[in-house]
Amino acid sequence: MPTIQTSGANPTELYYYEQGQGKPVVLIHGWPLSHRMWESQITALAEAGYRVIAYDRRGFGQSGRPTGGYDYDTFAADLNDLMTQLDLRDAAIAGFSMGGGEVARYIGRYGTERISKAMLLGAVPPFLLKTDDNPEGVDKSVFDGMLDGVRKDRIAFLESFFPNFYNLQPGQGQDLLGFSKWQAWAASPLATQQCIVAFGMTDFRADLEKFDVPTLVAHGDADQIVPLEVSGQRSHQMIQGSRLEVVKGAPHGFAATHAQQLNALMLDFLNA
């Protein structure tokens, strides 16, 4: 099983899946899923001539489950360990939802020496939490409610969460819902809880100011989990020269529901 060992105060093993040859593209999954959410993108990118590396965040999928380190400074350090241990250069890094925070904090802390392009896909930056200097954000009670729901009954919470993730009506998408819940069920309960605090409370605005590579911001305009107006639209405004692609009618989980459209956008951006 391909893994790397992370460094720092809460070291763990990170599992990664690799397919294809060519320029590297690193895919960073969303909460509360795993690298398996990228199934369609991995195939499309590898067939197009890219070396695709999709890894599981600490606490999720097949990676280790340490008792700490569920914060974006540590997540970025984990990504840096992956980049350096695999000696990835001229790479594109793509983060979906929570994974967009890794992209932002990695560039903010480690720069762009090893990367040539970045993608924020339905991503949480620049800052989700509503504060005095971020009035467009989401009220803290929303994240408190999520945290309370996961602590009380994680399985029941996930049952009600995923239909809104994909904008599904009752009875729709049962296989997709089952696949998603299977990924989320396997995650560490501790990681599932603490990541809500991480993606809900972390301010990435200073990180976005350090972007100096071509950046694709892609977002569904029907996203009920991370609304376009709060996130993707504002990230595009903050990242000089970024490219905004709004996927009409797409929900948060558009990597699955609008896979062909997203794959085409990613390949067009990578090939430019």
Catalytic residues: 97, 223, 252
Rounded Cα distance, 236 and 243, in Å: 7
Structure tokens at 249: 């009618």
CB 260 within 8 A of CB 238: no
Q: Is 21 exposed, middle or buried (0-12, 13-18, 19+ CB in 10 A)?
A: exposed
Structure tokens at 124: 């949480």
126-132 long-range contacts, Cβ below 8 Å, gap at least 24?
126/203, 126/204, 126/205, 126/208, 126/231, 126/234, 126/235, 126/238, 127/202, 127/203, 127/204, 127/205, 128/199, 128/200, 128/201, 128/226, 128/230, 128/231, 129/200, 129/201, 129/203
C-alpha distances in Å from residue 45, one per residue of 26, 197, 260: 11, 32, 11
